[in-house]
Structure 1
Amino acid sequence: MNAVTIIVPIFGIILIGWAAALAGLLSERVSDGLSEYVFAIAVPALIIGTLTRPGLEGEIAWSYWFSYFGGAAIAWAAGSLIALRRAGIGRQGAVLHGFAASQSNTIFVGVPMILQAYGDEGAFPLFLLLAVHLPLMMGVATFLIEAESGRSLWQRLVGLARVLFKNPIFVALLIGMAMKLLRISPAGPAKSILDAFAATASTCALVALGAGLRRYRVLFDLPGALVVALLKTVLHPLAVWLLAFHVFSMPPAYAGVATLFAAMPCGINAYLLAVRYKTETGLVAASVLVSTLIAPVTTLTWLALLGHA
């Protein structure tokens, strides 16, 4: 499939959502409600439906995870080190800079694009990575930020567990994996309902992302936001590509999915974490917006490199 054919519908829908919000056709309440629907119902239905689909098989390759998270560690370290060299940014702020430079927008952009590019061949490695990505990245960020908070290791672990088990995406991944292991596949009305919700996931997610971009301010520390955005969309996928294709061995679809997963813009979780800890909120918000705006160009380049030209 041609790279332009893949990205135009995806970023076109994001642009329409953004334009509709700027024109006042979609209010913030609609954007928030649509986002909640995507997180709580549509994407969990897509995950469970995909993981329980008969014939969806794949291998668990440790090299796949090493490649992706090795690249994420490089981008995270680079973002944190650059931040520490800037005046007025403390340790917590540096952690958030690094997190934003390595946390991919998987649900809103990554899932639709990777399924569009790789289809069933990429579905298993995609959801395999999703299952580890959320708890690992959020866990590391939370531990680093709270390292000097005085809370014990057990308290931090309990807090992280509560956050994860309240996350519908994480719960859906657990349910889907369990059903797959038990060889349980939805059928009849249950499958029809699941498929109906899953069919809305991609479009609703992209519209919600586009409409949500209205609240971010690109002019807040534009140079800093551009640095984070380039680390996310260029350095992160470059490091993963080198590891997946030239250092480790894995099926080509796995290497491609890992690279494209890393090429996604900054994830919304980075902004939510910045709001939670009340630090670097403006910079992280601007990074989400800038990385999403440049993502059509960088993603087109990565798709071409991966053979989708």
Structure 2
Amino acid sequence: MLNTFADISVIVLPVFGMVLVGYISARIGLVSERATDGLAEFVFSLSVPVLIFKTLTESKLPEAQPWGYWIAYFAGAFFVFAIAMVAAERLFGRGRQEAVIHGFAAGQANTVFVGVPLILKAYGEAGAVPLFLLIAIHLPVMLVAATVLLEGSHGFSRATMMRLGKALAFNPILLGIYAGALAKVVGIQAVGVPKQMIDLLSAAATPCALISLGLSLKRYGMAGGDLLPSALISFLKLIVHPAAVFALTMVFSMPPVWAGVAVLFAAMPSGVNGYLLAQRYGVGVAASTSAVSLSTGLAVVTVAFWLYILGVG
């Protein structure tokens, strides 16, 4: 038992330790707000897309669509999405649009800044393909669902759908996926100097993503004191979502690594996209902001728990 916990700590503590380094650096003023924005943009717009491109071009992709994998993950995601919406309306007396924000915060994970570093550390190259295949459709599916629900009460406009389509078409993460898939199909693989440049950029993704998350936590904090809704969102995100996915991975046949990646992906803390969507619509900002910080802090313990359940160490 002690060896198991020691093995798990080797996975979890360095990852969240780097987040803590980023947070302390921002807290003591070692890194400025301007640098925080720049590092986050570098990670999201360049380093992680290059890492995804590299992984997809160098890995063997599945010959058939892993439908059980998709169903297991997204059934769990929309299950907690629905619970959070109902709780927001009936327990906390929030309006329909704010309820959607709560649901989105509970159902979408911090895939880039925590998911990529932690899952790759847990499963190595074997987990890269299922991880990036899930990233490829995670944001589009969740964002489209949330936008449809948010806009539904007022009627859909052409401008809204155009804005959503443009956001998805030019999302840097998705561009990395498109480019990697195209290069794989055509048979293009980087060699020589281009490969060395790709390797350097992709290697920067993990440490920079973790430091960037730590820097951002100082900014978001526990804004607004909307603690009860954010606590429920965090519980749904860190416990209920991965538990539902774990149960479904035993129903649908898939390789153990794929099942483990789906569960860990679901166990990631609430992502900053919930806060960004709340800002855009002007509702649920306090709850979604607090959920990012609270779920990230609690994830140190809950991720270790799920690694233990999955037998990863």
1-structure distance, mates of 2:24, 2:111? 22
In the superposition, the TM-score normalised over structure 2's length comes to 0.95
Give the drift of 1:156: 4.0
1-structure distance, mates of 2:147, 2:177? 21
**SS of residue paired to 1:70:** helix
Partner of 2:261: 257
**SS of residue paired to 1:81:** helix
Partner of 1:198: 202
1:160 aligns with 2:167: no
Give the drift of 1:288: 0.4
1-structure distance, mates of 2:212, 2:199? 20
Partner of 1:85: 90
Partner of 1:125: 130
Partner of 1:226: 231
1:52 aligns with 2:57: yes
| 5-14 or 174-183: bigger deviation | 174-183
Q: How does 1:283-302 map to 2 (within 5 A)?
A: 283-302=287-306
Partner of 1:212: 216
**SS of residue paired to 1:94:** helix
Q: Is the 8 A contact 1:118 1:253 kept in 2?
A: yes
Q: Is the 8 A contact 2:26 2:32 kept in 1?
A: yes
Partner of 1:171: 175
1-structure distance, mates of 2:232, 2:190? 45
1:136 aligns with 2:141: yes
Which one-letter code corresponds to 1:141 in the other structure? Answer: A
Partner of 2:246: 241
2-structure distance, mates of 1:232, 1:20? 27
1:13 aligns with 2:18: yes
Give the drift of 1:221: 1.4
Give the drift of 1:155: 4.5
Which one-letter code corresponds to 2:143 in the other structure? Answer: M
Q: How does 1:35-74 map to 2 (within 5 A)?
A: 35-53=40-58, 55-59=59-63, 60-74=65-79
1:180 aligns with 2:170: no
Give the drift of 1:88: 4.4
C-alpha deviations, 1:21-56, integer Å up to 9, x for none?
A: 011111111111100000111001101011111x53
**SS of residue paired to 1:256:** helix
2-structure distance, mates of 1:26, 1:238? 37
Which one-letter code corresponds to 2:32 in the other structure? Answer: S
Q: Is the 8 A contact 1:97 1:284 kept in 2?
A: yes
Partner of 1:145: 150
1-structure distance, mates of 2:11, 2:221? 28
Equivalent residue in structure 2 for 1:4, among 9, 15, 18: 9
Q: Is the 8 A contact 1:134 1:170 kept in 2?
A: no
In the superposition, the TM-score normalised over structure 1's length comes to 0.96
Which one-letter code corresponds to 2:47 in the other structure? Answer: A
Equivalent residue in structure 1 for 2:108, among 95, 98, 103: 103
Q: Is the 8 A contact 2:18 2:211 kept in 1?
A: yes
Which one-letter code corresponds to 1:157 in the other structure? Answer: M
Q: Is the 8 A contact 1:267 1:288 kept in 2?
A: yes
Report sequence identity in percent. 46
Q: Is the 8 A contact 1:105 1:266 kept in 2?
A: yes
Give the drift of 1:77: 0.7
Q: Which runs of no fewer than 5 residues in structure 1 stay unpaired?
A: none
1:278 aligns with 2:282: yes
Which one-letter code corresponds to 2:216 in the other structure? Answer: G
Q: Is the 8 A contact 1:271 1:285 kept in 2?
A: yes
| 168-177 or 63-72: bigger deviation | 168-177
2-structure distance, mates of 1:149, 1:92? 10
Give the drift of 1:102: 0.8
**SS of residue paired to 2:311:** helix
Q: Which runs of 4+ in 1 moved over 2 A?
A: 55-60, 148-152, 154-159
